[in-house]
Chain A
Amino acid sequence: MTKADLAGLRRPNDPPLLILTSLAGGSKHGYALSKDIEAFAGIVLSPGALYGAITRLEERGLIEALEGDARRRPYRLTREGSDALAGALRELRRVTDVATSRLAVAGVLA
């Protein structure tokens, strides 16, 4: 996984990462994505940020639009999108694992 592959997927609150995470649970249209992200991450993505991220993800082939009503077009993860999400999670997990073990040694975490 290269740096370019992980563009926009490095931080937990990056809109592309939030969108991929949401779509990992099934296909959704823009409004459903927005509500799902708000529910699981507590982050309200502005329409500009949401559609900016959707545009880039579709350009990179990480998500694709499904046939449907043009007003509520659903999106789903592609194979490349699933791989990119898995790679991003591995990167994030590496950091959280280190933090968890260090806090455990310090007695903060059981």
Chain B
Amino acid sequence: MSGVDYARYERWYPSAWRERYGTEFVSLLEATYAGERVPMKASLSIVRAGTLERARELGIVGNTVSDDRAVTGSALAVWMAWTVFVVVGLIFAKYVEHWQWVTAVNERTLPSVAYDVVAVGAILGAVIVGVAALLVVPALIGRIRSYGWHIVAAPLRRTLLVGVLALAFSAGIVTWAHRIHGASSAPLWPNRVVLLLWLIVAAAAIFLGAASAGTVVRRVELETRTIRRLGSLALAMNLVLVVIFVGVLTWWAATAANAPWFFSSEILGASSAVVHTAPTSLPSAFTVVGSTSHDAPIVLVVIGTAMLGSLVVALYAGTRIASRLRRVG
């Protein structure tokens, strides 16, 4: 009797695929591995194939789905990219909140404009998301009225649970961060471990939330007009994401050029570590505790990488929407 549960591997695939191929797929695993564990390489291949199959089913990749499904699925990918931007954008906002304190007045113009552009982009993005939600909600309510809660209950419950967990964890981290705020002697590595843990939880919440949202969207029949509007909004969101990304990069480059001491690990986001005396004669106007300046701190690298990755996904999805939008319906 084998202790290996091969059936768990088929869970990586969407339900329609499991219904069609699941039994023979599990049978193949049983015959191939005969009670042994599935090797790591093969496991990763299954994860990749299953995820790809889910993306196909949502319409994010592949040419075998209808134009309606492709536009809806690609729009979902853009909203997912926006969610990543929101999460890392919040870290960015907290991280850079005191940058003016360490930047000379005559060198604040460019980073200030860049920072404002990011803020305006964030507001525009929130408005676009709000409009998109208003477009989908009536269809969702109509569907629920016709077929009952059960058609969306499970994915909504899942999204809510993961979202609440992520928010609770985030609240815990913010509280913890404020408690250690004044302790400039606190070692950096626990902060990084907690940051990494938080990023993992946030990423899991985003991807599980997106998967659940995909399930809901698939079950809600949207009108052609609504799909077209969602596609157009997703294209507008692409533009917003590009603007935000350029704004963040510009702020980073300008600050690295004009106030590189801001990136000193001891003063990042911790104003109490900076003895601020007068804002007119920087950098001699303040004292940086044990300064070791670095233009590319890990947090900004993580923020930049997450934004770039999401932007690539959003631009790919945007191209897909642009090429199919006219054929919808």
Interface, chain A (partner B; CB < 8 A): 29-31, 34, 46-52, 54-56, 59, 70-73
Is B323 an interface position by the 8 A CB rule? no
CB pair A31–B21 under 8 Å, yes or no, is no
Which residues of the other chain, A, contact B48 by a CB distance below 8 angstroms?
Answer: 48
Which residues of the other chain, A, contact B31 by a CB distance below 8 angstroms?
Answer: 31
- A47-B29, A48-B48, A55-B21 provided; 4 other pairs, C-beta below 8 A? A47-B45, A55-B17, A59-B64, A71-B27
Which chain B residues numbered 20 to 51 have a C-beta less than 8 Å away from chain A? 21, 23-29, 31-32, 38, 41-42, 45-50
CB pair B25–A51 under 8 Å, yes or no, is yes
The 8 closest A-B pairs by CB, nearest first: A48-B49, A48-B45, A46-B45, A71-B27, A30-B28, A48-B46, A31-B31, A52-B49
Task: Say how far B75's CB is from chain A's closest CB, in angstroms.
Answer: 23
Which residues of the other chain, A, contact B50 by a CB distance below 8 angstroms?
Answer: 48
- In whole angstroms, how far apart are the Cα atoms of A54 and B20 in the complex? 12
Supposing A34-B32, A72-B27 touch, asked if A47 and B46 sit within 8 A by C-beta, the answer is yes
Task: Say how far A13's CB is from chain B's closest CB, in angstroms.
Answer: 15
Supposing A34-B28, A55-B17 touch, asked if A71 and B45 sit within 8 A by C-beta, the answer is no
Is B256 an interface position by the 8 A CB rule? no
CB pair B42–A31 under 8 Å, yes or no, is no
Other-chain residue from B17, B23, B42 in contact with A47 (beta carbon distance below 8 A): B42
Is B266 an interface position by the 8 A CB rule? no
Task: Say how far A17's CB is from chain B's closest CB, in angstroms.
Answer: 18
- In whole angstroms, how far apart are the Cα atoms of A83 and B34 in the complex? 36
Which residues of the other chain, B, contact A50 by a CB distance below 8 angstroms?
Answer: 28
